[in-house]
Structure 1
Amino acid sequence: MDKKEMRKQAIKRLKDIPDTERKLIEEKLLDNLLHYHGWKEARSIGVTVSNGFEWTTRPIIEKAWEEGKAVCVPKCLPKLRKMDFYQIHTYDQLEIVYYNLLEPKPNNCKKVNKQEIDLLITPGLLFDQKGYRVGFGGGYYDRFLADFPNRTVSLASEEQVVNELPVESYDVPVDAIITNT
């Protein structure tokens, strides 16, 4: 099965999770993340603002603010096929962009160099035992991770972790995968 088909099936499975089960998984993912040494050591985190069927990141963002961590959110630059991160202090610094995504308003936030992000919470749909991932297909994170110097982690339900995924030369594995179990 190719990545496109894997992506399609993973999205369907995630969308089909009943709300009560989804809430339990998200609570466990948050709890496990907060006990992860990478979280405890980080002064700044990079994280997307979740949308739709993705695991919610709002409690992560709010916990980071509560703990005095800098919260850095990506802004995609489609023409350049890259993303920049901006530090936000409030949700008011976000705007709705294409695909109904929430991204920082660049004129309202401080742009952050990737070296300043201690822990990058990397989204994905499927992950393998070596940390490789199938993302949403845009390649934004693969390009960003190519020279990202700090710690990376992904959050996934146990069902999103498989034995092996097809790997391309440009794929960069995450350092850790935190699951609900």
Structure 2
Amino acid sequence: MRETQQRYGGLAFYNPAVHFSERMVFEPRPDFGGARDEPWIDLVEHSTAIPWSILLRADGTVAYTVTGPGWAPEAVVKVFAHPDALIEDAALHEESAAWAWKRSEAISLSDAEHLRERALGLRLLAEGVGLTQRWWEGEGFRVFLSTTVGRLFPAPQRLTCALSVWAETARGAQAAEARLLSRLG
């Protein structure tokens, strides 16, 4: 706990990621609200409309959970392998926002799985990649896919996953359309 507080405590930044669009503040503190098998650290204070908690688990992974009536410890989804990936994800969103072209849409969990298959061969970005979120780059374009909400609220055909594609030029946008987006749906 002390090590986590020293490394991340007080870190604050605007996170433009699709699930946040807000200022986040790292305020690590123990969370005793339901962990039966392991201690958790409540890692981040935030104020999005989605009332999820961002937790650091004993194994170092960052997990999200939605608290409230009917909550169970099984309703925790590991999102990032470590806290740095959450920070890197926000940085990639910030950097990508400056690109010339963007397309964002909600897709189903099954479409997200198909899109991941079509992304094979693209360069997987190590920074910001999570367990339920991926970043890829192609020639002149960048792709972000999140299945986090789809994992928190499983419904294979509902539009619970987020897809964003940015391109530096019209040519990059055409390449992204041809490689990934024209086959959705």
Q: Structures share a fold, TM > 0.5?
A: no
Task: Flag the structure with more relative contact order, 1 or 2, with Cα contacts below 8 A and sequence separation at least 6.
Answer: 1
Q: Which structure shows the bigger proportion of residues in helix conformation?
A: 1
| Structure whose alpha-carbon radius of gyration is higher | 2
TM-score, scaled relative to structure 1: 0.26
State the TM-score, normalizing by the size of structure 2. Answer: 0.25
